[in-house]
Structure 1
Amino acid sequence: MITALACFGLSLLLTLFLVPVAKRVALWLGIVDAPDKHRKLHGRIVPLTGGLILGTVLPLVLIAAAAVDSDLLPQIRQDGLAILGIVVSCGLLLFVGLTDDRVGVRGRQKLLAQLVCGVILLGSFYAIKPTDLFPGWLPIGFSFAFLLIWIVGSVNAVNLIDGADGLASTVGTIAALGIFAMTFDGQANWENLLAISLAGTLIGFLAYNFPPASTFLGDGGSMLIGLLVGALAIHSSVKQAASVALCAPVAIVAVPFFDSFVAILRRRLTGRSIYTVDRGHLHHTLLNRGLGPRRMLAVVAGLSTIAALGGVLSLKLHTPWFSLLSVGMVVSILVFGRIFGHAEFGLLSHRFVRLGRSFLVRPRQGRSDVHEQQFRLQGSRNWDYLWEALTEFAERHRLQEVRLDLNLPWLHEGYHAVWQRRVTEDEKNGWQTKLPLYAEGRVFGHLQLSGPANQASVYSMLGLLAEMLESMESVIVRLASNPASLQDTAIEATEELEADQPTGEIAEDLLGVADSGEHDLAPVTADARKR
């Protein structure tokens, strides 16, 4: 216990002393986070020191512990391969993270590096057998695939949640303390010393990273935290029953994992790339609900603590139920409390309902040939008039499908809508196109359309659509800059369009929508709210 406390104190003091030095080094090397107009909305250049600090403090503390405590040397010799795997994989990921912080690295390149680190770790964790985690009848390849996904998932979960001051540091601290509690049985070993040293380092870093932060973790820091937490959580729980060995680590990192799962779900269901940047993460949602940065941090810390406690209790009491209950409680609070994730699960349930109906209902039994659904993912601006103009255009030109996806992270806005018409056999195998939507030089969304192959004058119809969207650009800009009421927006839209004098069908499309007083749209499904 004395060695553990000494490691905690030394890592804390070293971090407090070294962060000011690391900030100057980061500024000199150009390892900084500069604001932009898209998602990095902080107002100044901030040094990224997390990777430098973790890569310096943790080795120093653990070397000092091994030099002082002779009982650690036999453990290090016994688990030398596992320790070597952690050192090599951490070094590789730290290099990639610092490179990304300095010059930028593509998402797929970082993913490749994470996979390589995962393979190195799994190759070095020779003590982990497939039956330690899974029933014996499952193929060996399944367990290794799961472990690889676990490592990569841990890295990305912490990296993705690093979008607000102090957030990843706080979540990482709670996870590290949870792992220490899981592995500590009255005697120090390299696992619990690494965990408690990580916690001490992050608490010291929080002195500078707590809102308002003077330094950020950067990818070098956040990815390294995720790798260490993922590796230690699995390695420290494999001596338990398979159910506990699976559930306890998941509970330790439940909050960042759920945040990442919802982000991936949202992007896939709306047709975006999984690398697309938005402001729909848990911390964005809480901030948009009026919580200040510190109160938001307290809420996330509370949820993380609930989940981590369940993981610790499961491992200590040798039952998975505490992990399952704690994770279920956290997810229920967020989803059923309509705080986070409910819009994404609404999108998912909508997909399943549509799929089920396609198996159970014959085409002629449907109540309507047209299906329409809107989902407000983030924000409160009223995009109904843009959507109504598009759907009336689709009906007039007998289109098969219209998908509108708006993503304005600099305004905390996200909107997704789908209009589909049931098609006949003769209309199948038609054309489709995807158009970017611009306003003031920014891409704020995409419009996807499809129509029957036998449709005449497709190009002229697309030309009319382009003119319509161009005529609406000023209205879109006004909506983006000022979330006006529905009626005000209608009046403004009408005036704008009358001034532009659009021709023929375009004028009827737009002015008819703006003048109509009734709107028969499917109900908007809920609000959902990296730097």
Structure 2
Amino acid sequence: MNQLAMTPFILVTLAAAFIAMLVLVPVVRAFAIRVGLVDNPDAERKLHDRPIALAGGLAVFIATGIAFLVGIAYESGWAEFGKMTELSSRWFVLLGASSAILIVGLIDDKWALRGRQKLLAQCVIAMIVVGSGTVMRSVSLFGFEIPLGIFAIPVSVLWLLLAINALNLLDGADGMATTVGAFVCGGLALLSASSGHSASTVIAATALCGALLGFLVFNRPPATIFLGDAGSMMIGLMVGVLAMWCSLKESAVVVAAPVAILVLPLFDSTAAIIRRWMTGRSMYATDRGHLHHLLNEKFGPNGMLLVVAGLCTLSSTIAVLSVRFNQDWLILLGAVAVLGFLVLTRTFGHSECRLLLGRLYHFAHSFAVRPKDCETSKHLRSVQIQGDGCWEPVWEPLVEFAKRHDLAKVQIDANMAWLHEGYHATWQSVRLPEKSVQSVVRIPLFATRPGEDESVPIGKVEVIANSSHESLAQLSYFLEHAEELQAQVSYLVDNLGKKNAASRKKATAVKTAAKSNELVVGSEEVEAVHTS
């Protein structure tokens, strides 16, 4: 279909979705509050300070469906409304899969499922979608077509899981996932239109984009309703499926274009995986190291959304232009520009890159070490993942102890989400002893959060030595002095807490002063009006 001819029903679809959201959100918000479907704040990682209604995803789902029907009806002619029943079966599969993941998300929002339970449900739903025919048989990357063969189904399922969780991980700050989702869907709609795909695919992406723009009215800072896991996972699934449909070229999927459009959520997910894997944390561990946390800390709530909107606009525009003019190198340029801005300005991803590059450097260096020097040659790396705490008084004595007693490895990992503080350091031999002959000691580290009496775990210290009478005596000595280590950590955390409290107090004073100035200016303006 001609791109110019698409303009009217695109605008109609956008308007229908936006208006539907303005009507639906107040109703859904009142329902969520009535049934107790709210997100309560915590002292660890959530940014809001009061209970906020969830179930925004339900409103997005309904509004997207309404706008899709309106767009299809308008495109096919109102008199031929029955044409909508001729939609291919893949649309009904997407409807069923979206409904299923929405229900799973609502259950999780209300009763909190375990991470593995959600992942299992996501896998089943993704496999149903792929089993219905939405499969990457081959991928086209920079002009080269790569057949996937027996890996077609696993790769397709993995792509959908990445999309689902990428949007879900971003949904941690007011308007963040909504803004990214709206720009991503807008980019997919333009990509589909530029590639000459069916009107239904363009309408679906446009409908979801319009619904998210309407939701942003209520979800922008300070938000009065959240998407919840139900909304973020449902949007992620739809985006993942539409990205596959929008980038089809003959029998292949053009990977570069949709990946470029989804570069921000995919980068956030990749960074989270690297951060947790490299530090030995659980993949389900929570922290304040995500893109929205760091952007909010650096630019503030509204500045965060402006930065995200600008980066998404850049990546989506370049992806669409690359397809329009068949210049794949533009996609690489756009992705490098977006990621380079985030990493080089140390806004996001810098610590994860240091962790990864450090691991790669040590791995490459190990090939140059002679066998007899493997036990004596050591690797040392320390990364301030977040914050600016001075960890040297804690870390340096550990390294000195390891050197003095010829240990194989000592490692510390700490994560205090409520302080935006994270630290990871490792000192180890190039070749560790075989696991069967290792003596391992792991000591949990604790700290007390403000306003709480009980200590909470914030990380661990791990020590590895060869199994021998001498090493066992050394580890016993280390355990005897573990309380001294804990005291040092507690002292550091207490100082960080006082510094953080002082910063918050100063920020509150600045906001109060700004509001007072606004009131004074406002009263002067009113007085001037009365005088005149």
Q: Give the TM-score category using the shorter length.
A: 0.7 to 0.9
**1:87-113 Cα deviation digits (max 9, x unpaired):** 111011100111111111111111112
Match of 2:406, SS state, is coil
Aligned to 2:63: 57
Check the 8 A contact 1:48/1:215 in 2, yes or no. Answer: yes
What is the one-letter code of the residue matched to 1:250?
A: V
The match for 1:166 among 161, 165, 175 is 175
Cα separation, 2, equivalents of 1:464 and 1:132 = 58
Return 459-468 or 406-415, whichever deviates more: 459-468
Which has the higher relative contact order, 1 or 2, with Cα contacts under 8 A spaced 6 or more apart?
A: 1
Deviation at 1:139, TM superposition (A): 4.3
Q: Indicate which of 443, 449, 457 corresponds to 2:473.
A: 457
2:47/2:172 contact within 8 Å kept: no
Map residues 327-366 of structure 1 onto 2, 5 A cutoff: 327-362=335-370
Q: Offset at 1:395? A: 3.2
CA distance in 2, matches of 1:74, 1:361: 73
Write the mapping of 1:94-493 to structure 2, written as runs, cut at 5 A.
Answer: 94-125=102-133, 130-131=137-138, 133=140, 138-184=147-193, 189-239=199-249, 242=252, 245-289=254-298, 291-362=299-370, 369-421=377-429, 429-440=437-448, 441-454=455-468, 455-457=471-473, 460-472=476-488, 474-483=490-499
AA at the equivalent of 1:148: V
Task: Using the TM superposition, give the Cα deviation of residue 428 of structure 1 relative to its aligned residue in structure 2, in angstroms.
Answer: 8.4
What are the Cα deviations for residues 171-230 of structure 1, in whole angstroms up to 9, with x where unaligned? 111011111112236997221111111111111111111111111111111111111111
Task: Work out whether residues 41 and 49 of structure 2, in 8 Å CA contact, stay in contact via their aligned partners in 1.
Answer: yes
Query: TM-score, normalised on structure 2?
Result: 0.84
Contact 1:270 1:416 in 2 (8 A): yes
Question: What is the letter of the counterpart of residue 478 of structure 1?
Answer: D
Structure 2: gaps (5+ residues): 1-6, 449-454, 501-532
**Percent of pairs with identical residues:** 38
Does the 8 Å contact 1:85/1:125 carry over to 2? Answer: no
For residues 214 and 186 of structure 2, the distance between their equivalents in structure 1, rounded to whole angstroms, comes to 14
Could you list the per-position Cα deviations for residues 448-483 of structure 1 after superposition, in whole angstroms to 9, with x for gaps in the alignment?
Answer: 111121124356324313332344354134233135
What count of residue pairs does the alignment treat as equivalent? Answer: 481
2:286 is paired with a residue whose SS is coil
Letter in 1 for 2:467: A
Distance in 2 between the 1:427 and 1:138 partners? Answer: 40
State the SS of the aligned residue for 1:403.
Answer: strand
Partner SS state of residue 318, structure 1: coil
Structure 2 SS opposite 1:294: helix
**In the alignment, is the contact (CA less than 8 A) between 1:399 and 1:451 conserved in 2?**
yes
Partner of 1:36, secondary structure, is coil
Q: CA RMSD in A?
A: 2.7
- Separation of aligned partners in 2, 1:423 and 1:63: 62
Q: 1:388 to 1:424 in 2, by over 3 A?
A: closer
Q: Which residue of 1 aligns with 2:15?
A: 9
Q: Conserved in 1, the CA contact under 8 Å of 2:408 and 2:433? A: no
**2:44 aligns to what?**
38
Shift of 1:379: 0.4
Supply the distance in 1 between the matched residues of 2:167 and 2:497 (Cα, whole angstroms): 32
Partner of 1:529: none
Check whether the contact 1:133–1:143 (CA below 8 A) recurs between aligned residues. no
Measured after TM superposition, the shift of residue 133 of structure 1 is: 4.8
Q: Which residue of 2 aligns with 1:488?
A: none
- Unaligned residue ranges in structure 1 (runs of 5+): 485-531
* Cα deviation, residue 328, structure 1: 1.7
Are residues 24 and 144 of structure 1, via their aligned partners in 2, closer, same or farther at CA, if it must alter by over 3 Å?
same
C-alpha spacing 1:201/1:456, structure 2 compared with 1 (3 Å):
closer
Q: 2-side partners of 1:187 and 1:357: how far apart?
A: 50
What letter corresponds to residue 193 of structure 2 in structure 1? F
Matched-pair contact (CA < 8 Å) for 1:133–1:241: no
Partner of 1:507: none
Change (3 A) 1:459 1:223: same
